[in-house]
Structure 1
Amino acid sequence: MHTFSFIGPLLSGLFLSCRASASDPHKYIPPTASDSRSPCPGLNALANQGYIPRDGRNIDPAQLKEAMIEVMNLQIEPFDSEIQVTLDHSTTGNSSTFNLEDSNVHNNIEIDGSLSRKDLYFGDNIHFDQAIWDQSSSKFEGDIITIRTAAESRAYRTMMAEKVNPNFTANPFIAGLAPAIYMLVFGGVNATETQRDWIESFFRDRLPTHLGWTKSPVELTKINLFAMSSTIAAVPVATAMP
């Protein structure tokens, strides 16, 4: 009789979990081992919070576009070529859909010198890596990330990756977009700074809504993104190097 005494509490816990999930369809839930994930924290965050399929499978570009507008108010058009490469490597059996892991094409969305992932040369380039993030975030000052420290972080991480990866391949365009995306999405069109904890949450594959972030009230366009990227690229970073 006592053998089954755990069933009641277990079922009760499951019921409460399901009820909480139903009341908040975008609750953060970490992926399971069988879920498909990408080297891109933004895509992973959308899946972890149910804006695209939580298992990361059979996603179509229209679905992704809708999710990015709903969640970040960010147009998907700047990433059309990266999405097409992902579709070209689709493993879904349908060339118009993809699994998140299909985006793991070297030098496409995944690049050497990632701000939060290992380079492909060292193995796992999909999951958040604390040591890599410690490198990238070492250039931040306090709780705020500015345009200057975002630029210094990007330059420092690239330099450190080049030092240790004999197969390092530079991709300045995608590398420059990473800080531009987080400054724009989490700071706004005319951002000069953003909150460090928001950005760390994002790179850990979780939207920082639980920390108080809300999306931009205006749609963020390719023009906004490239302007932010140019602003960051114009920052002199020589003094940030050891």
Structure 2
Amino acid sequence: MGFLSSVSNFFFDVGIMSYDILLTLLNLVMKKRRIGHVTPEGHSGYGGYWPEFKPAQEGDSRCSCPALNAMANHGYGRNISFVELNHQIRTTYNFSPSFCSYVPHFAARMLKRSYSKDTFDLAELDLHNGIEHDASLFRLDTALQPNQSTKHIPFIEELLEASTGKDQYGNNVLTTKDLSGILGKRRAVARATNREFSLSFFHRMFGSANSSTLLTIFGGRVNDLRSVVLHERIPDGWESRIRQPYGLTFTHFNKTVLAVEFGVREKDWTEAAQEAARQRATSV
């Protein structure tokens, strides 16, 4: 990356975060969107009507992110422009414009592409230790499963069964504490079983951010998450649980991310994970 590109990226990042703070403040004073009207009229999902669900077939491109895969299973997946990804994330999940601009820009930098001109396939996002990282809630580490679009069903089932919360109707809901606990276990197990394990501070925070979307965008609702995470399908009638007019901003989102990350206790699981790894090794 050249000097001018680095400077340009720096000022872009500063501008995005300043814009994000402004949107956060506007969300505080403006009315929330009405339930049933979170998805904008004229876009997929308005009124709870999503395009036909078509599971991935041979040759389709998918990645390690179930939310993006769910979008792909309803009509997206190959030759996506970074600009279009910006708009689709915004209308589908009601992330803020600042969030939806930054993430595709980051992906374009990672892939060394032009944000405004180039396209990509979802599988390309799984450059190891770019956005994709070890100790996933949904997938084995890359060293153990190179195809990161492959879900590890036992992980997903364990996550969904870990819910301890209830909503007002008595439905199971994941909590911040639930996610912190399962993340701690995932990190301990991955460290014990993957000789190539790595998890930088950046990727620990990124892992907690990915997890936090389950609590924010999906409200922690296990029934919805089972469809999205396990089947990578957006449920009929679903809309984002974020009703703020300018969507989920980084500023607001980071409160949940930090709560999840600061609650992670990997050491609580280390001894059990190491013992399990030893038993597997001796049984082979």
* TM-score interval, normalised by the smaller of the two chains: 0.7 to 0.9
- Aligned pairs (5 A) from 1:18-33: 26-33=51-58
Q: Does 1:44 align with 2:65?
A: no
Which consecutive aligned stretches of 4+ in structure 1 deviate over 6 angstroms post-superposition?
A: none
The 1:151–1:77 alpha-carbon spacing in structure 2 relative to 1, beyond 3 Å, is: farther
AA aligned opposite 1:140: S
Query: For structure 1, which segment, 216-225 or 32-41, has the greater mean C-alpha deviation from structure 2 after superposition?
Result: 216-225
Q: Does 1:119 align with 2:141?
A: yes
Q: What runs of 5+ residues in structure 1 fail to find an aligned partner?
A: 1-23, 188-193
- Alignment partner of 2:81 out of 60, 63, 85: 60
Q: Does 1:98 align with 2:126?
A: no
Q: Does 1:84 align with 2:108?
A: yes
Count of residues paired in the alignment: 205
* Partner residue, 2:279: none
**1:78 Cα deviation from its structure 2 partner:** 4.7
Looking at structure 1, the residues matched to 266 and 238 of structure 2 have their Cα atoms a distance apart, in angstroms, of 32
Looking at structure 2, the residues matched to 205 and 60 of structure 1 have their Cα atoms a distance apart, in angstroms, of 25
**1:59 Cα deviation from its structure 2 partner:** 0.6
* Partner residue, 1:178: 210
Looking at structure 2, the residues matched to 89 and 40 of structure 1 have their Cα atoms a distance apart, in angstroms, of 20
The 1:69–1:32 alpha-carbon spacing in structure 2 relative to 1, beyond 3 Å, is: same
Does the Cα contact within 8 Å between 1:86 and 1:98 map onto a contact in 2? no
Instruction: Give TM-score scaled by structure 1 length.
Output: 0.75
Q: What runs of 5+ residues in structure 2 fail to find an aligned partner?
A: 1-48, 166-171, 273-284
Q: Does 1:206 align with 2:264?
A: no
Partner-residue secondary structure (3-state), 2:51: coil
AA aligned opposite 2:215: M
**1:30 Cα deviation from its structure 2 partner:** 0.1
Q: Does 1:149 align with 2:178?
A: yes
Looking at structure 2, the residues matched to 240 and 200 of structure 1 have their Cα atoms a distance apart, in angstroms, of 27
- Alignment partner of 1:217 out of 228, 237, 243: 243
* Partner residue, 1:18: none
The 1:29–1:118 alpha-carbon spacing in structure 2 relative to 1, beyond 3 Å, is: same
* Partner residue, 1:226: 254
Does the Cα contact within 8 Å between 1:37 and 1:44 map onto a contact in 2? yes
Instruction: Give TM-score scaled by structure 2 length.
Output: 0.64
Looking at structure 1, the residues matched to 92 and 216 of structure 2 have their Cα atoms a distance apart, in angstroms, of 13
Q: Does 1:161 align with 2:193?
A: no
AA aligned opposite 1:132: F
Looking at structure 1, the residues matched to 263 and 138 of structure 2 have their Cα atoms a distance apart, in angstroms, of 21
AA aligned opposite 2:192: K
AA aligned opposite 1:182: L
Per chain length, whose mean CA-contact separation is higher, i.e. which structure has more relative contact order (CA < 8 Å, sep 6+)? Answer: 2
**1:160 Cα deviation from its structure 2 partner:** 1.2
Q: Deviations over 1:107-137 (max 9, x none)?
A: 1221111111111111232221112324444
Looking at structure 1, the residues matched to 231 and 83 of structure 2 have their Cα atoms a distance apart, in angstroms, of 21
The 1:207–1:74 alpha-carbon spacing in structure 2 relative to 1, beyond 3 Å, is: farther
Identical residues among aligned pairs (%): 22
The 1:151–1:25 alpha-carbon spacing in structure 2 relative to 1, beyond 3 Å, is: closer
Looking at structure 1, the residues matched to 174 and 261 of structure 2 have their Cα atoms a distance apart, in angstroms, of 15
